Amino acid sequence: MKRDIDWSKLGFHYTEPEYIVRSAYHEGAWEEPYATKDKYLHLHVSATCLQYGQEAFEGLKAFRGVDGKIRIFRWKENAKRMAKSAEGLFMEPVPEEIFGKAIHLALEKNIDLVPPYGTGATLYFRPLLIGTTPRLGVGPGRDFEFIVIPSPIGPYYPGKFHCTTFIVNRHVDRAAPLGTGQFKVGGNYASSFRATEAAHALGYDCLFLDAKHHRYIDECSAANFIGIKGNEYLTPRSSAILPSITNDSLMTLAKERGMKVTRRHIRLEELSEMSEGAACGTACVISPIDKVLDPEKGKTYLFGNEPGPVLSELYHALRDIQFGRAEDTHHWCEIVEN
Ligand SMILES: Cc1ncc(COP(=O)(O)O)c(C=O)c1O
């Protein structure tokens, strides 16, 4: 169905799709994914997702390229990460085949929702896995539902590529070192809201430190951290952060450009030795940081008001691959005929 959407006005929020895709896991087998217009679930009030937070999700995008073709970016990596999140919460992993079928069906059934090239907008997919077995005794369920919710979203930067300010948080730990931080599960986000909303109320985004020492950089709200120090691309090593697919792609592009790429513990004070800093993730690709405030220590780390040259180049290099303007030498995009 053709929809009258003003793509240039589309913000970074949910637009109701025509169809979602569902597949249930019951008695040891996944059902064939099917499309439905119904956006409501008939869910038992004691389902393990509601009672004990048995829930994991993902986020990925399809891009309409300069050549008019649709490209889905690295969806198999999202499928692998969702399988790890499922294992992390004692859920049945969604097989790659089911994950892929559901994404492709969601795309096919909502093809008119893929924004045109040149608008900067994309079709975002939100795969979701929930435990549906009714239980009151604490424990995992045996039944699950996998859902893919597509939604067109506007460009993260409607105008100019702009910078964000972060504030260091020492009041709320998002995830424990051996907890669920490495998985994309709802509980991590719910537990970070106290910190992120407090930062937003002050007009900033929230920088999480490692939960054990509050000494090393963990993550930027819902994105990985990247710092540039000379010719080095630095990003935190931590058992409590989500392995970002964007960060992985940017690391490959940085290496190709002759940069040294290092993943290690990064002390907060090392920010003063970096020329550029950014948050990275599917939503924004790269969100450059102008400054990081640490009010408790009375320190401010400044990167400057304009995005730096190294991260700008990496941002454009990845966007060019996603929109088909540059050769996809790593085979990151799957081209879908339409
Ligand atoms: C906590 C967190 N870290 C990092 C990322 C970035 O991951 P990706 O690049 O795969 O979107 C996300 C977004 O998915 C996130 O929610």
Alpha-carbon distance of 218 to 209, in angstroms, equals: 5
Task: Name the residue of 188, 282, 286, 332 whose CB sits within 8 Å of the most ligand 1 atoms, as the mutation to test its pocket.
Answer: 282
Q: Which atom of ligand 1 is nearest to 282's Cα?
A: 11
Give me the mean pLDDT over the 298-312 stretch. 94
> What span, in angstroms and rounded, lies between the C-alpha atoms of 191 and 199?
14
Q: Are 70 and 62 in contact (CB under 8 A)?
A: yes
Residue 246 has φ and ψ, to the nearest 5°, of: -65, -45
If one compares 256 and 6, the residue with the highest pLDDT of the two is 256
Neighbour-count burial for 45-62, b at 16+ CB within 10 Å, e otherwise: eebbbbbbbbbbbbebbb
Q: pLDDT for 165-199, tens place per residue?
A: 999 999 999 999 999 999 999 999 999 999 999 99
Structure-block tokens of residue 326: 């540059």
Q: What is the pLDDT of residue 1?
A: 60
Give the Cα separation of 223 and 287 in Å (integer): 9
CB neighbour list of residue 169: distance below 8 Å, 6 or more residues apart: 195, 198, 199, 206, 207, 208, 209
Please provide residue 40's backbone torsions phi and psi, each rounded to the nearest 5 degrees. -110, 150
In a 13 Å sphere around the CA of 225, the CA atoms on its Cβ side amount to 35
Please tell me the predicted confidence (pLDDT) of residue 334.
Answer: 98
pLDDT tier, 161 (very low <50, low <70, confident <90, very high otherwise): confident
| Dist. CA 215–CA 18, nearest whole Å | 47
Q: Please state, in angstroms and rounded to a whole number, the distance separating the CA atoms of residues 244 and 100.
A: 19
- Judge if the beta carbon of residue 244 lies within 6 A of ligand 1: yes
The best mutation among 60, 169, 184, 221 to test binding of ligand 1, ranked by most ligand atoms within 8 Å of the C-beta, falls on: 184
In angstroms, how far is the first alpha carbon of the chain from the final one? 15
In this structure, are residues 96 and 76 in contact, taking their beta carbons and an 8 Å threshold? yes
List the structure tokens of 296: 């408790």
**What mean pLDDT is predicted for residues 86-96?**
98
Burial call 9-22: b when 16+ CB within 10 Å, e when fewer: ebeeeebebebbbb
CA distances to 78, 172, 268 from 214, in Å: 29, 10, 9
In tens, the pLDDT along 230-248 reads 999 999 999 999 999 999 9
Is there an atom of ligand 1 within 6 Å of 242 CB? yes
Side chain identity at residue 232, one-letter code: E
Phi-psi region of 110 (alpha: psi -120 to 50; beta: other; left: phi over 0): alpha
Which residue type is seen at 86?
A
- Domains, the chain, ranges and CATH? 7-153 (3.30.470.10), 164-322 (3.20.10.10)
Residue pair 82/99 in contact (Cβ under 8 Å)? The answer is yes
The mean pLDDT value for 259-287 works out to 96
233 CA distance to ligand 1 middle (Å) = 18
E strand intervals along 89-179: 122-131, 144-153, 164-169
Please give the average per-residue pLDDT across 110-116, as a whole number: 96
Helix (H) or strand (E) holding 198: helix 186-201
**Distances from the Cα of 62 to the Cαs of 59, 128, 311, in angstroms?**
11, 17, 23
